Amino acid sequence: MEIPYTVEPRPDTGLANGKLGIWLFLASEVMLFGALFSTYILLRVGAIEWPHGELSVKLGAINTVILICSSVTMVVAWAKLKLNDFAKGRLYVLVTVVLAAVFLVNKYFEYAEHLAKGEGPWHSTFFAIYFTLTGLHGLHIVGGIVVMLYLAGPGAGMWKSNPEQYANRVEYTGLYWHFVDLVWIFLFPVLYLL
C-alpha cells in the first residue's frame, strides 16, 4: 500500500502531504509562542517596575546574526540539492548545524553568567519569563539540530532511493528552521532591547 501525494503535490491543492503538515505544525507553534509572548505582555503590564539592561545586548546581537546566517545556509542547502549537488547540499546542512551549536554555546555562557549572579528563574518575573522563553526556544534549536544531523547522517541514504523526497525533507526542515529563527528575531528585541 502506498499513500498518495507523499512526494508529488496533489494537483487541486498544489501541496504535498509533508508541506501541508509542516505548515500546520508551524501554525500550532505560533499559538504556543503566542501564548508565552502574551504572558510576557501581561506580566510586564502588571509589574510595578520592569528591569532594563539586565541582559548582554552584545551576546544577543551576535546570536541574532548567527541564526540569520544559519537560515541562509539552510536555504542554500536546499537549493544545492535541487541543483542535484548532494555533496554541497549535505555540507550546507552541516554548516547550519555548526552555527546552531555556536548559538547554543553562546546561550550557555549567557545562562552561566546569570546563574552565577543568582539571577535564576526564581529571581524575578523578568528572569522567569526570560529563562522560559529562551529555554523553550533553545529546545527548538536542539530539535532542529537532531533532525539536521539525521538528514546529513543516517537519513542521507534516501538521496539515492528517492532524491526528490530527500530534498523535500530538507525543505520542510528549513521551513521549521526559519520559524525558529523568526521566534528569536522577536525574542531579541523583546527581552534584550525594550
Residues of this chain that interact with other proteins (CB under 8 A) are 1-6, 8, 10-13, 15, 17, 20-21, 24-25, 27-29, 31-36, 39, 42-43, 46-48, 120-125, 128-129, 131-132, 136
Q: How far is the CB of 73 from other proteins (least distance, A)?
A: 27
Q: How far is the CB of 101 from other proteins (least distance, A)?
A: 24
For 156, the grid coordinates are: 542521507
DSSP-based three-state secondary structure for 117: coil
User: Distance (Å, rounded) from C-alpha 27 to C-alpha 45?
Assistant: 26
Q: How far is the CB of 163 from other proteins (least distance, A)?
A: 18
Helices (H) and strands (E) in the chain, counts: 6, 0
Q: How far is the CB of 7 from other proteins (least distance, A)?
A: 10
User: Distance (Å, rounded) from C-alpha 94 to C-alpha 39?
Assistant: 35
For 31, the grid coordinates are: 499559538
Question: Cβ closer to other proteins: 36 or 91?
Answer: 36
User: Distance (Å, rounded) from C-alpha 95 to C-alpha 41?
Assistant: 36
User: In whole angstroms, how far apart are CA 15 and each of 5, 158, 159, 162, 172?
Assistant: 8, 21, 21, 18, 12
CA end-to-end span of the chain: 55
Question: Cβ closer to other proteins: 88 or 123?
Answer: 123
Question: Cβ closer to other proteins: 120 or 155?
Answer: 120
Listed residue (145, 72, 135, 147) closest to 107, CA to CA: 135
Question: Cβ closer to other proteins: 24 or 146?
Answer: 24
User: Distance (Å, rounded) from C-alpha 170 to C-alpha 193?
Assistant: 33
Question: Cβ closer to other proteins: 8 or 113?
Answer: 8
Question: Cβ closer to other proteins: 24 or 105?
Answer: 24
Q: How far is the CB of 119 from other proteins (least distance, A)?
A: 11
Q: How far is the CB of 99 from other proteins (least distance, A)?
A: 26
